[in-house]
Structure 1
Amino acid sequence: MSENVTSVYTTSKRIGLLGGMSAASSQLYYAELCRLTQAERGGLSSPDLLLRSLDFAPLEAWMAAGNWEAIADTLSREACQLQAAGAEVLALATNTMHNVAEQIETVIDVPFVHIADATAAALNAAGSKIPGLIGTQFTMEQAFYLDRLRNQGLDPLVPAASARSVINDIIFGELCKGIVLEESADAFIKAATELAFDGADSLILGCTEVCMLLNEDNTPLPVFDTTAIHCEAILKAAWDC
Protein backbone atom coordinates (compact mmCIF):
# COMPACT_ATOMS: atom_id res chain seq x y z
CA MET A 1 0.00 0.00 0.00
CA SER A 2 1.39 3.39 -0.97
CA GLU A 3 2.14 6.09 1.59
CA ASN A 4 -0.54 8.31 0.00
CA VAL A 5 -3.26 5.67 0.34
CA THR A 6 -2.22 4.94 3.92
CA SER A 7 -2.47 8.62 4.84
CA VAL A 8 -6.01 8.86 3.44
CA TYR A 9 -7.23 5.96 5.56
CA THR A 10 -5.48 7.10 8.73
CA THR A 11 -7.11 10.54 8.47
CA SER A 12 -10.63 9.15 7.95
CA LYS A 13 -13.00 7.81 10.55
CA ARG A 14 -15.26 5.00 9.41
CA ILE A 15 -18.85 6.16 8.98
CA GLY A 16 -21.75 4.08 10.28
CA LEU A 17 -25.01 4.95 8.55
CA LEU A 18 -28.41 3.72 9.72
CA GLY A 19 -30.55 3.67 6.60
CA GLY A 20 -33.43 2.01 4.81
CA MET A 21 -35.87 4.62 6.18
CA SER A 22 -36.68 4.85 3.32
CA ALA A 23 -34.64 2.96 0.75
CA ALA A 24 -35.11 5.92 -1.60
CA SER A 25 -33.44 8.34 0.81
CA SER A 26 -30.59 5.93 1.58
CA GLN A 27 -29.78 5.79 -2.13
CA LEU A 28 -29.64 9.58 -2.16
CA TYR A 29 -27.35 9.56 0.88
CA TYR A 30 -24.91 7.06 -0.59
CA ALA A 31 -24.79 8.86 -3.93
CA GLU A 32 -24.19 12.23 -2.24
CA LEU A 33 -21.53 10.90 0.14
CA CYS A 34 -19.72 9.35 -2.81
CA ARG A 35 -20.04 12.52 -4.90
CA LEU A 36 -18.69 14.75 -2.13
CA THR A 37 -15.82 12.38 -1.34
CA GLN A 38 -14.76 12.12 -4.95
CA ALA A 39 -15.00 15.89 -5.42
CA GLU A 40 -12.88 16.55 -2.33
CA ARG A 41 -10.30 13.78 -2.64
CA GLY A 42 -10.30 12.99 -6.34
CA GLY A 43 -9.12 9.88 -8.09
CA LEU A 44 -11.03 6.76 -7.13
CA SER A 45 -11.85 7.98 -3.62
CA SER A 46 -15.09 6.85 -2.00
CA PRO A 47 -16.30 7.08 1.62
CA ASP A 48 -15.18 4.56 4.23
CA LEU A 49 -18.70 3.55 5.15
CA LEU A 50 -20.79 0.87 6.84
CA LEU A 51 -24.45 1.01 5.80
CA ARG A 52 -27.10 -0.83 7.80
CA SER A 53 -30.25 -0.80 5.69
CA LEU A 54 -33.25 -1.77 7.81
CA ASP A 55 -36.65 -3.01 6.68
CA PHE A 56 -38.74 0.17 6.88
CA ALA A 57 -42.13 -1.59 6.98
CA PRO A 58 -42.19 -2.56 10.69
CA LEU A 59 -40.60 0.73 11.70
CA GLU A 60 -43.23 2.70 9.78
CA ALA A 61 -46.00 0.62 11.38
CA TRP A 62 -44.61 1.37 14.85
CA MET A 63 -44.33 5.03 13.93
CA ALA A 64 -47.96 5.17 12.78
CA ALA A 65 -49.01 3.48 16.04
CA GLY A 66 -46.94 5.88 18.14
CA ASN A 67 -44.69 3.08 19.38
CA TRP A 68 -41.51 5.12 19.50
CA GLU A 69 -40.12 2.92 22.27
CA ALA A 70 -39.89 -0.03 19.87
CA ILE A 71 -38.21 2.20 17.29
CA ALA A 72 -35.74 3.53 19.86
CA ASP A 73 -34.88 0.01 21.03
CA THR A 74 -34.37 -1.23 17.47
CA LEU A 75 -32.26 1.69 16.25
CA SER A 76 -30.21 1.78 19.46
CA ARG A 77 -29.40 -1.90 19.05
CA GLU A 78 -28.47 -1.40 15.40
CA ALA A 79 -26.30 1.61 16.27
CA CYS A 80 -24.40 -0.48 18.81
CA GLN A 81 -23.85 -3.17 16.19
CA LEU A 82 -22.48 -0.61 13.74
CA GLN A 83 -20.11 0.65 16.41
CA ALA A 84 -19.02 -2.92 17.20
CA ALA A 85 -18.38 -3.45 13.48
CA GLY A 86 -15.94 -0.54 13.45
CA ALA A 87 -18.00 2.62 12.88
CA GLU A 88 -16.30 5.66 14.40
CA VAL A 89 -18.94 8.26 13.44
CA LEU A 90 -22.67 7.48 13.39
CA ALA A 91 -25.59 9.07 11.56
CA LEU A 92 -29.27 8.40 10.86
CA ALA A 93 -30.14 8.76 7.17
CA THR A 94 -33.58 10.18 7.95
CA ASN A 95 -35.07 13.27 9.59
CA THR A 96 -38.10 11.74 11.26
CA MET A 97 -36.25 8.98 13.10
CA HIS A 98 -34.23 11.66 14.89
CA ASN A 99 -37.17 11.56 17.29
CA VAL A 100 -35.15 8.82 19.02
CA ALA A 101 -31.70 10.35 18.49
CA GLU A 102 -31.20 11.06 22.18
CA GLN A 103 -31.82 7.42 23.06
CA ILE A 104 -29.30 6.32 20.43
CA GLU A 105 -26.68 8.75 21.68
CA THR A 106 -26.92 7.34 25.21
CA VAL A 107 -25.85 3.83 24.11
CA ILE A 108 -22.94 4.65 21.78
CA ASP A 109 -19.43 5.92 22.49
CA VAL A 110 -18.73 7.55 19.12
CA PRO A 111 -19.82 10.93 17.73
CA PHE A 112 -23.39 11.16 16.44
CA VAL A 113 -24.03 13.67 13.64
CA HIS A 114 -27.51 15.15 14.20
CA ILE A 115 -29.29 16.27 11.04
CA ALA A 116 -31.13 19.18 12.70
CA ASP A 117 -27.93 20.55 14.23
CA ALA A 118 -26.19 20.48 10.85
CA THR A 119 -29.19 22.17 9.23
CA ALA A 120 -29.43 24.85 11.92
CA ALA A 121 -25.72 25.61 11.51
CA ALA A 122 -26.16 26.02 7.75
CA LEU A 123 -29.15 28.32 8.22
CA ASN A 124 -27.38 30.47 10.79
CA ALA A 125 -24.29 30.70 8.61
CA ALA A 126 -26.49 31.98 5.77
CA GLY A 127 -28.27 34.48 8.01
CA SER A 128 -31.66 32.79 7.65
CA LYS A 129 -33.75 33.02 10.81
CA ILE A 130 -37.34 32.13 9.79
CA PRO A 131 -37.13 28.91 7.81
CA GLY A 132 -40.17 27.19 6.41
CA LEU A 133 -40.12 23.47 7.16
CA ILE A 134 -41.53 20.77 4.89
CA GLY A 135 -41.27 17.16 6.04
CA THR A 136 -43.35 14.38 7.53
CA GLN A 137 -46.11 15.35 9.95
CA PHE A 138 -43.94 14.04 12.78
CA THR A 139 -41.12 16.39 11.83
CA MET A 140 -43.39 19.36 11.14
CA GLU A 141 -45.45 18.97 14.32
CA GLN A 142 -43.37 17.40 17.08
CA ALA A 143 -40.96 19.12 19.44
CA PHE A 144 -37.97 16.84 18.79
CA TYR A 145 -37.18 18.73 15.57
CA LEU A 146 -38.82 22.14 15.97
CA ASP A 147 -37.35 22.73 19.43
CA ARG A 148 -33.91 21.65 18.22
CA LEU A 149 -34.09 24.43 15.63
CA ARG A 150 -35.53 26.96 18.09
CA ASN A 151 -32.78 26.23 20.59
CA GLN A 152 -30.29 27.39 17.97
CA GLY A 153 -31.93 30.75 17.39
CA LEU A 154 -34.34 29.88 14.59
CA ASP A 155 -38.08 30.51 14.32
CA PRO A 156 -39.39 27.77 12.01
CA LEU A 157 -42.74 27.97 10.22
CA VAL A 158 -44.76 24.98 9.04
CA PRO A 159 -47.57 24.68 6.49
CA ALA A 160 -51.24 24.72 7.49
CA ALA A 161 -52.69 21.51 8.92
CA SER A 162 -54.42 20.52 5.68
CA ALA A 163 -51.20 20.96 3.70
CA ARG A 164 -49.22 19.00 6.30
CA SER A 165 -51.56 16.05 5.82
CA VAL A 166 -51.21 16.15 2.03
CA ILE A 167 -47.42 16.42 2.27
CA ASN A 168 -47.23 13.49 4.67
CA ASP A 169 -49.38 11.30 2.41
CA ILE A 170 -47.17 12.09 -0.59
CA ILE A 171 -43.98 11.32 1.32
CA PHE A 172 -45.10 7.91 2.57
CA GLY A 173 -47.35 6.98 -0.33
CA GLU A 174 -45.04 8.05 -3.15
CA LEU A 175 -41.57 9.39 -2.39
CA CYS A 176 -40.59 6.59 0.00
CA LYS A 177 -41.44 4.20 -2.85
CA GLY A 178 -39.42 6.19 -5.39
CA ILE A 179 -42.55 7.55 -7.11
CA VAL A 180 -42.30 11.14 -8.39
CA LEU A 181 -45.48 12.74 -9.76
CA GLU A 182 -45.91 16.20 -11.28
CA GLU A 183 -49.11 16.90 -9.35
CA SER A 184 -47.33 16.08 -6.10
CA ALA A 185 -44.53 18.48 -6.98
CA ASP A 186 -47.21 21.12 -7.57
CA ALA A 187 -48.63 20.50 -4.08
CA PHE A 188 -45.19 20.89 -2.52
CA ILE A 189 -44.48 24.05 -4.52
CA LYS A 190 -47.80 25.49 -3.36
CA ALA A 191 -46.90 24.76 0.27
CA ALA A 192 -43.49 26.40 -0.17
CA THR A 193 -45.08 29.46 -1.79
CA GLU A 194 -47.55 29.79 1.09
CA LEU A 195 -44.70 29.60 3.60
CA ALA A 196 -42.95 32.43 1.77
CA PHE A 197 -46.17 34.46 1.92
CA ASP A 198 -46.36 33.79 5.68
CA GLY A 199 -42.88 35.28 6.18
CA ALA A 200 -40.41 32.43 5.76
CA ASP A 201 -37.00 33.59 4.55
CA SER A 202 -35.78 30.12 3.54
CA LEU A 203 -37.02 26.57 3.10
CA ILE A 204 -35.84 23.43 4.90
CA LEU A 205 -36.36 20.26 2.90
CA GLY A 206 -36.96 18.49 6.19
CA CYS A 207 -37.50 15.00 4.90
CA THR A 208 -34.68 13.23 3.13
CA GLU A 209 -36.94 12.44 0.14
CA VAL A 210 -38.32 15.97 -0.36
CA CYS A 211 -35.43 16.89 -2.67
CA MET A 212 -37.05 14.52 -5.18
CA LEU A 213 -39.73 17.21 -5.69
CA LEU A 214 -38.34 20.56 -4.52
CA ASN A 215 -35.17 22.45 -5.39
CA GLU A 216 -33.84 25.96 -5.88
CA ASP A 217 -35.37 26.16 -9.36
CA ASN A 218 -39.02 25.55 -8.44
CA THR A 219 -39.41 27.28 -5.07
CA PRO A 220 -39.55 30.99 -4.19
CA LEU A 221 -37.15 30.62 -1.24
CA PRO A 222 -33.50 29.68 -0.72
CA VAL A 223 -33.48 25.92 -0.22
CA PHE A 224 -31.66 24.05 2.54
CA ASP A 225 -31.62 20.38 1.57
CA THR A 226 -31.13 18.37 4.76
CA THR A 227 -29.81 15.35 2.87
CA ALA A 228 -26.99 17.34 1.26
CA ILE A 229 -26.28 19.31 4.44
CA HIS A 230 -26.20 16.16 6.56
CA CYS A 231 -23.85 14.38 4.16
CA GLU A 232 -21.41 17.30 4.32
CA ALA A 233 -21.54 17.27 8.12
CA ILE A 234 -21.01 13.50 8.27
CA LEU A 235 -17.90 13.73 6.10
CA LYS A 236 -16.61 16.70 8.07
CA ALA A 237 -16.90 14.64 11.26
CA ALA A 238 -15.24 11.64 9.61
CA TRP A 239 -12.40 13.73 8.24
CA ASP A 240 -11.92 15.76 11.45
CA CYS A 241 -12.21 19.05 9.62
Structure 2
Amino acid sequence: MKTVGVLGGLGPQATMDFEARFHQAAQRLIPQLGNSGFPPMVVFYLRHPAVVMGADLKPVQPVQPDPRLLRAAEQLGALADFLVITANAPHLFQDHIEQASGKPVLSMIEVTLEEVQRRTFQTVGLLGFGEPVVYQVPLDRLGIPNRRLPAELRDRLDQAIWAVWEGRETAEDRDAAAQAVDYLRNQGADILILGCTEIPLLLGEQAEAPDLINPAQLLAEAAVRAAIQPA
Protein backbone atom coordinates (compact mmCIF):
# COMPACT_ATOMS: atom_id res chain seq x y z
CA MET A 1 0.00 0.00 0.00
CA LYS A 2 1.05 3.59 -0.59
CA THR A 3 2.07 5.87 2.26
CA VAL A 4 -0.20 8.85 2.88
CA GLY A 5 1.39 12.13 3.94
CA VAL A 6 -1.00 14.26 5.98
CA LEU A 7 -0.32 17.98 6.08
CA GLY A 8 -2.28 18.78 9.21
CA GLY A 9 -2.49 20.94 12.28
CA LEU A 10 -4.78 23.40 10.51
CA GLY A 11 -6.26 23.00 13.05
CA PRO A 12 -5.29 20.11 15.30
CA GLN A 13 -8.80 18.96 16.21
CA ALA A 14 -9.80 18.70 12.56
CA THR A 15 -6.62 16.75 11.82
CA MET A 16 -7.43 14.23 14.54
CA ASP A 17 -10.96 14.00 13.15
CA PHE A 18 -9.56 13.25 9.69
CA GLU A 19 -7.26 10.56 11.08
CA ALA A 20 -10.23 8.86 12.76
CA ARG A 21 -12.31 9.06 9.58
CA PHE A 22 -9.41 7.67 7.53
CA HIS A 23 -9.02 4.65 9.81
CA GLN A 24 -12.77 4.04 9.88
CA ALA A 25 -12.83 4.15 6.07
CA ALA A 26 -9.93 1.70 5.95
CA GLN A 27 -11.86 -0.71 8.16
CA ARG A 28 -14.71 -0.64 5.64
CA LEU A 29 -12.62 -0.85 2.48
CA ILE A 30 -9.69 -3.12 3.40
CA PRO A 31 -9.75 -6.68 4.80
CA GLN A 32 -8.56 -6.34 8.39
CA LEU A 33 -5.82 -8.34 10.11
CA GLY A 34 -4.61 -6.89 13.39
CA ASN A 35 -3.17 -3.45 12.73
CA SER A 36 -2.01 -4.33 9.21
CA GLY A 37 -5.25 -3.43 7.45
CA PHE A 38 -4.51 0.28 7.35
CA PRO A 39 -2.39 2.21 4.83
CA PRO A 40 0.84 3.69 6.22
CA MET A 41 0.43 7.30 7.26
CA VAL A 42 2.81 10.12 8.19
CA VAL A 43 1.22 13.18 9.82
CA PHE A 44 2.76 16.63 10.16
CA TYR A 45 1.05 18.98 12.63
CA LEU A 46 1.87 22.47 11.41
CA ARG A 47 1.77 24.93 14.33
CA HIS A 48 1.61 28.10 12.27
CA PRO A 49 -0.90 29.74 9.92
CA ALA A 50 -0.79 28.46 6.36
CA VAL A 51 -0.44 32.02 5.02
CA VAL A 52 1.97 34.85 5.72
CA MET A 53 0.41 37.07 8.39
CA GLY A 54 0.96 40.75 9.06
CA ALA A 55 1.47 42.50 12.39
CA ASP A 56 -2.32 42.95 12.58
CA LEU A 57 -2.73 39.13 12.47
CA LYS A 58 -4.41 39.39 9.08
CA PRO A 59 -3.11 37.74 5.89
CA VAL A 60 -0.63 39.83 3.94
CA GLN A 61 -2.02 40.79 0.53
CA PRO A 62 -1.71 39.30 -1.97
CA VAL A 63 -2.16 36.09 0.00
CA GLN A 64 0.93 33.87 -0.09
CA PRO A 65 1.89 30.57 1.56
CA ASP A 66 3.92 30.68 4.75
CA PRO A 67 7.39 29.20 4.05
CA ARG A 68 6.91 26.88 7.03
CA LEU A 69 3.95 25.30 5.24
CA LEU A 70 6.15 24.53 2.27
CA ARG A 71 8.97 23.18 4.45
CA ALA A 72 6.47 20.83 6.08
CA ALA A 73 5.35 19.69 2.62
CA GLU A 74 8.97 19.08 1.66
CA GLN A 75 9.53 16.87 4.71
CA LEU A 76 6.36 14.89 4.04
CA GLY A 77 7.29 14.45 0.40
CA ALA A 78 10.43 12.58 1.42
CA LEU A 79 8.32 10.01 3.30
CA ALA A 80 5.00 9.73 1.47
CA ASP A 81 3.71 8.68 -1.94
CA PHE A 82 1.05 11.39 -2.01
CA LEU A 83 -0.21 14.16 0.26
CA VAL A 84 -3.55 15.21 1.68
CA ILE A 85 -4.28 18.52 3.39
CA THR A 86 -6.75 18.46 6.30
CA ALA A 87 -7.97 22.02 5.73
CA ASN A 88 -9.78 23.58 2.80
CA ALA A 89 -8.22 27.01 2.29
CA PRO A 90 -4.56 25.85 1.97
CA HIS A 91 -5.58 24.15 -1.27
CA LEU A 92 -5.23 27.61 -2.77
CA PHE A 93 -1.51 26.81 -2.61
CA GLN A 94 -1.76 23.27 -3.98
CA ASP A 95 0.69 23.96 -6.80
CA HIS A 96 3.25 25.35 -4.33
CA ILE A 97 2.79 22.36 -2.03
CA GLU A 98 3.20 19.85 -4.84
CA GLN A 99 6.33 21.62 -6.05
CA ALA A 100 7.82 21.73 -2.54
CA SER A 101 7.00 18.10 -1.76
CA GLY A 102 7.65 16.60 -5.16
CA LYS A 103 4.49 14.56 -4.68
CA PRO A 104 0.89 14.92 -5.86
CA VAL A 105 -1.81 16.30 -3.57
CA LEU A 106 -5.09 14.41 -3.41
CA SER A 107 -7.34 17.45 -3.35
CA MET A 108 -10.13 17.83 -0.82
CA ILE A 109 -11.61 20.49 -3.09
CA GLU A 110 -11.71 18.23 -6.14
CA VAL A 111 -13.34 15.29 -4.36
CA THR A 112 -15.93 17.68 -2.91
CA LEU A 113 -16.73 19.21 -6.29
CA GLU A 114 -17.10 15.71 -7.72
CA GLU A 115 -19.64 14.94 -4.99
CA VAL A 116 -21.51 18.18 -5.74
CA GLN A 117 -21.74 17.29 -9.42
CA ARG A 118 -22.93 13.78 -8.56
CA ARG A 119 -25.96 15.11 -6.66
CA THR A 120 -29.24 16.60 -7.86
CA PHE A 121 -29.70 20.17 -6.64
CA GLN A 122 -30.48 23.76 -7.62
CA THR A 123 -28.19 25.86 -5.41
CA VAL A 124 -25.11 25.18 -3.26
CA GLY A 125 -24.64 26.88 0.10
CA LEU A 126 -21.03 27.67 1.05
CA LEU A 127 -19.66 27.78 4.58
CA GLY A 128 -16.03 28.36 5.48
CA PHE A 129 -13.54 30.43 7.42
CA GLY A 130 -13.77 33.88 5.89
CA GLU A 131 -14.87 34.02 2.28
CA PRO A 132 -15.01 30.46 0.90
CA VAL A 133 -13.25 31.39 -2.35
CA VAL A 134 -11.61 27.98 -2.59
CA TYR A 135 -15.08 26.65 -3.50
CA GLN A 136 -16.77 29.77 -4.85
CA VAL A 137 -14.31 30.26 -7.71
CA PRO A 138 -14.55 26.72 -9.16
CA LEU A 139 -18.33 26.62 -8.65
CA ASP A 140 -18.69 29.91 -10.52
CA ARG A 141 -16.44 28.53 -13.25
CA LEU A 142 -18.72 25.49 -13.53
CA GLY A 143 -21.79 27.73 -13.66
CA ILE A 144 -23.19 26.29 -10.42
CA PRO A 145 -25.33 28.78 -8.43
CA ASN A 146 -24.11 29.27 -4.87
CA ARG A 147 -25.01 31.26 -1.77
CA ARG A 148 -22.77 32.61 0.97
CA LEU A 149 -23.25 34.08 4.43
CA PRO A 150 -23.72 37.79 5.13
CA ALA A 151 -20.86 39.46 7.00
CA GLU A 152 -22.46 39.28 10.45
CA LEU A 153 -23.09 35.54 10.36
CA ARG A 154 -19.73 34.89 8.71
CA ASP A 155 -17.91 36.79 11.46
CA ARG A 156 -19.72 34.81 14.16
CA LEU A 157 -18.83 31.56 12.43
CA ASP A 158 -15.19 32.64 12.07
CA GLN A 159 -15.03 33.33 15.82
CA ALA A 160 -16.52 29.91 16.53
CA ILE A 161 -13.96 28.21 14.27
CA TRP A 162 -11.16 30.08 16.02
CA ALA A 163 -12.52 28.83 19.35
CA VAL A 164 -12.33 25.23 18.10
CA TRP A 165 -8.68 25.75 17.12
CA GLU A 166 -7.99 26.86 20.68
CA GLY A 167 -10.06 24.08 22.26
CA ARG A 168 -12.48 26.46 23.98
CA GLU A 169 -15.68 26.29 21.90
CA THR A 170 -18.92 26.91 23.77
CA ALA A 171 -22.61 26.32 23.20
CA GLU A 172 -22.74 29.81 21.69
CA ASP A 173 -20.11 28.83 19.13
CA ARG A 174 -21.99 25.67 18.21
CA ASP A 175 -25.14 27.75 17.85
CA ALA A 176 -23.33 30.09 15.45
CA ALA A 177 -22.59 27.15 13.16
CA ALA A 178 -26.17 25.88 13.34
CA GLN A 179 -27.55 29.35 12.56
CA ALA A 180 -25.24 29.63 9.56
CA VAL A 181 -26.58 26.35 8.19
CA ASP A 182 -30.19 27.41 8.80
CA TYR A 183 -29.62 30.74 7.05
CA LEU A 184 -28.33 29.13 3.85
CA ARG A 185 -31.12 26.57 3.86
CA ASN A 186 -33.63 29.41 4.16
CA GLN A 187 -31.91 31.14 1.24
CA GLY A 188 -32.76 28.18 -0.97
CA ALA A 189 -29.56 26.14 -0.81
CA ASP A 190 -30.35 22.48 -1.53
CA ILE A 191 -26.94 21.22 -0.46
CA LEU A 192 -24.30 22.87 1.72
CA ILE A 193 -20.53 22.44 1.66
CA LEU A 194 -19.05 22.52 5.16
CA GLY A 195 -15.99 24.26 3.75
CA CYS A 196 -13.95 24.46 6.94
CA THR A 197 -13.02 21.22 8.68
CA GLU A 198 -13.91 22.68 12.09
CA ILE A 199 -17.55 23.23 11.12
CA PRO A 200 -18.56 19.54 11.40
CA LEU A 201 -16.98 19.53 14.86
CA LEU A 202 -19.18 22.47 15.85
CA LEU A 203 -22.31 20.88 14.39
CA GLY A 204 -21.81 17.45 15.94
CA GLU A 205 -24.53 15.01 14.89
CA GLN A 206 -26.22 17.75 12.86
CA ALA A 207 -23.32 17.48 10.39
CA GLU A 208 -24.69 14.08 9.31
CA ALA A 209 -27.78 15.65 7.70
CA PRO A 210 -28.15 14.42 4.11
CA ASP A 211 -27.99 17.92 2.61
CA LEU A 212 -24.61 18.66 4.22
CA ILE A 213 -21.37 17.73 2.45
CA ASN A 214 -18.39 17.08 4.72
CA PRO A 215 -15.16 17.42 2.68
CA ALA A 216 -13.09 15.73 5.41
CA GLN A 217 -15.17 12.56 5.13
CA LEU A 218 -14.90 12.54 1.35
CA LEU A 219 -11.14 13.06 1.52
CA ALA A 220 -10.67 10.29 4.09
CA GLU A 221 -12.44 7.76 1.87
CA ALA A 222 -10.63 8.95 -1.26
CA ALA A 223 -7.26 8.75 0.51
CA VAL A 224 -7.82 5.13 1.50
CA ARG A 225 -8.83 4.22 -2.05
CA ALA A 226 -5.77 6.00 -3.45
CA ALA A 227 -3.48 4.26 -0.97
CA ILE A 228 -4.62 0.78 -1.95
CA GLN A 229 -4.22 1.37 -5.68
CA PRO A 230 -1.19 -0.31 -7.27
CA ALA A 231 1.83 1.96 -7.63
Query: In which range does the TM-score fall when normalised by the shorter chain?
Result: 0.7 to 0.9
Q: Which moved more, 1:90-99 or 1:14-23?
A: 90-99
- Note the C-alpha offset of 1:25: 0.8
Residue by residue over 1:129-182, the C-alpha shift from the partner in whole angstroms, topping out at 9 and shown as x without a partner, is: 5221111004x2x3x43112333453221111111111111101x111233422
The residue that corresponds to 2:68 in the other structure is 74
- Note the C-alpha offset of 1:221: 6.5
Change (3 A) 1:186 1:119: same
The residue that corresponds to 1:7 in the other structure is none
Of 149, 154, 158, the residue aligned with 1:164 is 154
* 1:23-62 equivalent positions in 2, closer than 5 A: 23-41=12-30, 42-44=32-34, 45-56=37-48, 59=50, 62=53
What is the RMSD computed on CA atoms of the aligned residues?
2.4
Whether contact under 8 Å (1:117, 1:149) holds in the other structure is no
SS of the equivalent of 2:148 reads coil
Whether contact under 8 Å (1:216, 1:222) holds in the other structure is no
> What letter matches 2:187 in structure 1?
D
SS of the equivalent of 2:146 reads coil
- In structure 2, how many angstroms separate the alpha carbons of the residues matched to 1:231 and 1:218? 16
Change (3 A) 1:98 1:105: same
Q: Which runs of 5+ in 1 are unaligned?
A: 1-11
- Note the C-alpha offset of 1:109: 3.5
Residue by residue over 1:61-100, the C-alpha shift from the partner in whole angstroms, topping out at 9 and shown as x without a partner, is: 72843234352x3222221221112x11111111122222
Tell me the TM-score normalised to structure 1 length: 0.82
SS of the equivalent of 2:126 reads strand
> Are 2:82 and 1:89 equivalent residues in the alignment?
yes
- In structure 2, how many angstroms separate the alpha carbons of the residues matched to 1:43 and 1:149? 42
The residue that corresponds to 2:166 in the other structure is 177
* 1:76-225 equivalent positions in 2, closer than 5 A: 76-85=70-79, 87-138=80-131, 140=132, 142=133, 144-172=134-162, 174-214=163-203, 217=206, 222-225=211-214
The residue that corresponds to 1:3 in the other structure is none
Residue by residue over 1:154-213, the C-alpha shift from the partner in whole angstroms, topping out at 9 and shown as x without a partner, is: 3221111111111111101x1112334222222222221111121111111111111112
Q: Which moved more, 1:189-198 or 1:22-31?
A: 189-198
Whether contact under 8 Å (1:33, 1:47) holds in the other structure is no
After the TM superposition, which segments of 4 or more aligned residues of structure 1 sit over 4 Å from their partners? 58-61, 218-221
Whether contact under 8 Å (2:153, 2:180) holds in the other structure is yes
- In structure 1, how many angstroms separate the alpha carbons of the residues matched to 2:14 and 2:207? 20
SS of the equivalent of 2:53 reads helix
Q: Which runs of 5+ in 2 are unaligned?
A: none
> What letter matches 1:21 in structure 2?
L
Whether contact under 8 Å (1:133, 1:206) holds in the other structure is yes
Change (3 A) 1:225 1:215: farther
- In structure 2, how many angstroms separate the alpha carbons of the residues matched to 1:179 and 1:125? 36
- In structure 2, how many angstroms separate the alpha carbons of the residues matched to 1:113 and 1:129? 27
- In structure 2, how many angstroms separate the alpha carbons of the residues matched to 1:127 and 1:153? 15
> Are 2:215 and 1:226 equivalent residues in the alignment?
yes
Residue by residue over 1:83-128, the C-alpha shift from the partner in whole angstroms, topping out at 9 and shown as x without a partner, is: 112x111111111222222221334443211111111111111223
SS of the equivalent of 1:101 reads helix
- In structure 2, how many angstroms separate the alpha carbons of the residues matched to 1:52 and 1:125? 32
Tell me the TM-score normalised to structure 2 length: 0.85
